[in-house]
């Protein structure tokens, strides 16, 4: 399937920059959005300085697009009002713009932290109820709920990727289960953009880790290639003593400074 015109929000971020590079040559046109200034690096690229809070600007940036990969927002634990503004209201503006302009596919960056309070010993699939490990996880629950609403009520095709620990290589014991390699990240994004026949889909984006906590979603048609186990010999294998998938993210001390 041709990608056509793809909009990427948060294009200056770590994952946004990698997706931008990976989709060059595959999309006819890449529209790169961020609240910081960007410079075009390829003939197919168009850059715009846009804040997610600006609903008219977001809608305007989506005009003429076929799909959007929404990676912008607050990337970690923060005060709830900041998360609601950046991750929930901003996502609403993206979805509403996509609805108004009839985009073929919306890909939303969700997070594994939406289920970080499940036990590490339990294999978790997207059908289980959310158990967020902090306020950031709560904002991703709301992001997915908005995606579901726009799919059910307005017929948008929405894929929520519950992104794992995106790193060049795993660096700690938790990463042995949660690592998402750059290669697999791009594979999941590409599949989320191109797999036909999807209404609303929530799927974990995680590498093929032997110790992973999460079920893969076959409907996306992508099987990850990398396994954190290849790095296990150099990583102390002691998991966080609370025994939760979120590890230290699930501790009260992680959230208390933001309350």
What would the pLDDT profile of 170-186 be if each residue is shown by its tens digit? 999 999 999 999 999 99
Question: At residue 228, does pLDDT exceed 80?
Answer: yes
* Both tokens assigned to 207: 């590498």
Q: Could you tell me where the beta strands, DSSP code E, fall in 50-156?
A: 67-70, 105-111
Domain containing residue 212: CATH number: 3.40.50.720
Q: Are 121 and 243 in contact (CB under 8 A)?
A: yes
The mean per-residue pLDDT over the stretch 129-145 comes to 98
Pairwise CA distance, residues 216 & 180, whole Å? 13
Pairwise CA distance, residues 20 & 4, whole Å? 14
3-state secondary structure of 98: helix
The mean per-residue pLDDT over the stretch 123-134 comes to 98
Which candidate in 136, 150, 166, 213 is catalytic? 136
Pairwise CA distance, residues 7 & 29, whole Å? 8
Q: Could you tell me where the beta strands, DSSP code E, fall in 121-193?
A: 158-163, 165-166, 179-180
Q: Could you tell me where the beta strands, DSSP code E, fall in 86-157?
A: 105-111
- Whether the pTM exceeds 0.95: the reply is yes
* 1 confidence band (pLDDT: 50, 70, 90): low
DSSP H helices, the chain, are 14-23, 55-62, 80-83, 90-101, 135-154, 175-178, 182-194, 252-255
Closest CA to 181 of 172, 170, 192, 195: 170
The mean per-residue pLDDT over the stretch 125-131 comes to 97
Pairwise CA distance, residues 220 & 256, whole Å? 37
Q: By residue range, what is the domain housing residue 38?
A: 5-258
Instruction: For residue range 67-83, list pLDDT tens digits in order.
Output: 999 999 999 999 999 99
Instruction: For residue range 92-101, list pLDDT tens digits in order.
Output: 999 999 999 9
* 238 confidence band (pLDDT: 50, 70, 90): confident
Instruction: For residue range 29-59, list pLDDT tens digits in order.
Output: 999 999 999 999 999 999 999 999 999 999 9
Q: Are 67 and 3 in contact (CB under 8 A)?
A: yes
Pairwise CA distance, residues 52 & 82, whole Å? 12
Q: Are 246 and 135 in contact (CB under 8 A)?
A: no
Q: Could you tell me where the beta strands, DSSP code E, fall in the chain?
A: 5-9, 29-34, 45-49, 67-70, 105-111, 158-163, 165-166, 179-180, 200-205
- Total domain count, the chain: 1
* 136 included as an active-site residue: yes
């Amino acid at each position: 399937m041709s990608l056509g015109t793809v909009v990427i929000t948060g294009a200056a971020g770590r994952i946004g920059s990698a997706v931008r590079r990976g989709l060059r040559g595959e999309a006819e046109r890449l529209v790169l959005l961020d609240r910081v200034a960007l410079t075009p690096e390829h003939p197919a690229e168009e850059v715009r300085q846009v804040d997610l809070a600006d609903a008219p600007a977001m809608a305007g940036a989506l005009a003429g697009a076929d799909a959007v990969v929404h990676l912008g927002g607050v990337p970690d634990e923060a005060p709830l009002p900041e998360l609601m503004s950046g991750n929930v209201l901003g996502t609403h503006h993206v979805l509403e713009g996509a609805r108004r302009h009839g985009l073929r596919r919306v890909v939303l960056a969700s997070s594994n932290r939406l289920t970080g309070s499940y036990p590490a010993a339990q294999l978790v699939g997207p059908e289980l109820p959310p158990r967020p490990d902090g306020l950031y996880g709560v904002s991703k629950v709301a992001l997915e709920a908005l995606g579901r609403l726009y799919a059910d009520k307005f017929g948008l095709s929405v894929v929520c990727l519950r992104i794992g620990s995106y790193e060049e290589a795993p660096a700690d014991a938790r990463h042995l289960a949660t690592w998402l390699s750059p290669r697999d990240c791009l594979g999941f994004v590409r599949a989320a953009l191109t797999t036909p026949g999807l209404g609303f889909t929530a799927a974990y984006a995680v590498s093929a880790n032997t110790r992973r906590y999460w079920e893969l979603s076959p409907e996306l048609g992508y099987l990850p290639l990398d396994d954190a186990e290849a790095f296990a010999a150099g990583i102390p294998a002691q998991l966080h003593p609370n025994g939760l998938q979120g590890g230290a993210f699930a501790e009260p001390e992680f959230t208390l400074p933001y309350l």
